[in-house]
């Protein structure tokens, strides 16, 4: 199943590696290093999954996730972080620990949180 995935991370290396990997797996991937630009993409285009870093300047991944779900309630949201899951993470947000386990990433893209 081909998914439309929006990957957001302010770390250029992570953004490129994850985006290329998901594209190589057959998904349609858009990448953004800026949360505000990502919101504009979400307004303009439908996506199946938002894969975002937690810690970013200006807008955190959690803030982006909440705004994204307001725009598109059906959107699957996965937050990547090297930090412990925060108590304010909404139930609809799936947590993916960094360093990223590729098998876990693929499973989350295809099946959701389980």
Contact between residue 6 and residue 50 where contact means Cβ atoms under 8 Å apart: yes
Sign of the torsion formed by the C-alpha atoms of 74, 78, 79 and 84: positive
Range(s) of the domain holding residue 93: 4-111
Query: What's the whole-model pTM score?
Result: 0.90
- The proportion of the chain whose per-residue pLDDT surpasses 70, expressed as a percent, equals 89
Of 42, 47, 84, 99, the closest CA to residue 67 belongs to: 42
pLDDT, tens digit (0-9, with 9 covering 90-100), for 13-65: 999 999 999 999 999 999 999 999 999 999 999 999 999 999 999 899 989 99
Q: How many domains does the chain fold into?
A: 1
Q: How confident is the model at residue 91 (pLDDT cuts 50, 70, 90)?
A: low
**Which CATH number characterizes residue 70's domain?**
3.40.50.2300
């Amino acid at each position: 199943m081909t998914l439309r995935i929006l990957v957001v991370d302010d770390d250029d290396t992570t953004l490129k590696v994850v985006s290329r990997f998901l594209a190589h797996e057959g998904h349609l991937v858009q990448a953004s290093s800026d949360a505000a630009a990502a919101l504009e993409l979400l307004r303009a285009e439908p996506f199946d999954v938002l894969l975002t870093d937690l810690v970013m300047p200006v807008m955190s991944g959690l803030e982006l996730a909440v705004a994204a779900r307001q725009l598109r309630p059906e959107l699957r949201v996965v937050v990547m972080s090297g930090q412990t899951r925060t108590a304010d993470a909404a139930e609809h947000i799936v947590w993916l620990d960094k360093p990223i386990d590729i098998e876990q990433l693929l499973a989350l893209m295809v099946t959701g949180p389980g």
